[in-house]
Amino acid sequence: MQARVVESMEDAKQAVPPAEPRRVFPAGMLRLSLGFLLLGVGVGLSAFGLFLARHSEAVAAAAPALFRPCVGAPEEEEALERWIRPPARARHAMADEELLWLASFAPRARGRSGGYPFRRVPKVAFMFLAHGPLPLAPLWERFFRGNEGRYSIYVHTMPLYRANFTSDSVFYQRQIPSKNVEWGQMTMCDAERRLLANALLDISNEWFVLVSESCIPLFDFNTTYQYFQNSSQSFVMSIDDPGRDGRGRYNLNMAPEVELEQWRKGWQWFQVDRELAVAIVRDTVYYPKFKEFCRPGCYADEHYIQTMLTIEATHRLANRTVTWVDWSRGGPNAAHPATFGRGDITEEFLKGIREGGACMYNDQNSTMCFLFARKFAPSALEPLLELAPTVLGFG
């Protein structure tokens, strides 16, 4: 019996296959693999760091959308707010081509009531086309005071000029990226389009007014706001002048886009609504013609917008400006209007501008024709500040 047990145990041992010897991973190969792994991690981190350095602004802008809290405001409200929020500062890194393209977008669909699908307070965009400083800024500061949320400001100067307004000023950080402007050249219209395009980035801007550093407001802000709000037309001076300085500046190469009988002239200081502002920055039909063929003595700022809007939307124009100027001092062939200094500023002088006009407003006769006036020298600031509360209605 014992022999059988021993025999069975031997058979069992033979039935179990012998264990394979354990393989040992070579230490050299292990160190080499770890080296490649650490190198790959290092390269990956370096590439990610380079990406962040180059695209930090885009990553920061996308971060709120990528990392949303699980609780809080509904995503729909955040998404809409992202699209309608105006830029915090006027400066940006866009080229003109990019800026005009972005500004040319216009919403077509409207909410159930026919308006915007969110609470929108229409604003007046004041666009200052200046060489450099704004010497009459203290007067404008008083004009804007207390009307926050109903206006926005954009300042175009020569590129090297840097404004030094303090953080409590309405002009603080309102200087847009600018380029050189030459009097009488197409670069003047480029600056106007640049101002319009920047202002269009704020969807609440409804009316767009071009003024200069020598302009002053003639009425209080609320009166000015209601004048634009209640008007059925925009204020662009556009006349058919048969003389040397009108049709005499027409170039036959303008045809067929612009025929002689469509050629118009007017002062450059305009006010347009949002729809016309979009049309101006979107234009690729008339702009190339004026850039190539309207050369001195054809002055593009007196013809381009006036002609283009007359062709495209003549019924939308009041055919007059709301900015008063005086050409009488320089004679009939004067290149620039009169400039008024300290000694010219009296109560009678300002009242004459405010009340001495005759025009049509919403198809009705009116004596209130001008909301702004130019040109005023820096020396006029002090008497203007003194008379503003009693004559101009603000300050």
pLDDT at 70 over 60: no
pLDDT at 5 over 70: no
Indicate the range of 75-79, 369-373, 379-383 predicted with least confidence.
75-79
Write down the pLDDT at residue 367: 94
pLDDT in tens, 117-157: 888 899 999 999 999 999 999 999 999 999 999 999 999 99
Q: For 129-189, give the DSSP string.
A: E-SS--TTHHHHHHHHTT-TTSEEEEEE--TT------TTSTTTT-BPP-----TTSHHHH
User: Are 199 and 208 spatial neighbours (Cβ–Cβ below 8 Å)?
Assistant: yes
pLDDT in tens, 235-285: 999 999 999 999 999 999 999 999 999 999 999 999 999 999 999 999 999
pLDDT at 34 over 60: no
In order of 9, 15, 20, 162, the CA distances from 12 in angstroms are 5, 5, 18, 97
* Residue of 31 and 394 predicted with greater confidence: 394
pLDDT at 48 over 50: no
User: Are 388 and 139 spatial neighbours (Cβ–Cβ below 8 Å)?
Assistant: yes
pLDDT band at 58 (very low <50, low <70, confident <90, very high): very low
Residue 241, CB-side half-sphere exposure with 13 Å CA sphere: 18
Which DSSP symbol is given to 89?
S
Note the CATH architecture for domain 83-104+120-321.
Alpha-Beta Complex (3.90)
Write down the pLDDT at residue 260: 97
Q: What is the mean pLDDT of residues 343-353?
A: 96
State how beta strands 151-156 and 123-129 pair.
parallel
pTM listed for this prediction: 0.79
Q: What is the mean pLDDT of residues 6-32?
A: 45
Write down the pLDDT at residue 333: 57
Burial class (CB in 10 A: 0-12, 13-18, 19+), 178: buried
Indicate the range of 16-20, 34-38, 87-91, 93-97 predicted with least confidence.
16-20
Task: Report d(CA 322, CA 233) in Å as an integer.
Answer: 12
pLDDT in tens, 304-315: 999 999 999 999
Please give the helix or strand (H or E) that residue 199 lies within, else none.
helix 186-200
Best CA proximity match to 266, nearest among 332, 317, 198: 317
User: Are 225 and 394 spatial neighbours (Cβ–Cβ below 8 Å)?
Assistant: no
3-state SS, residue 285 = coil
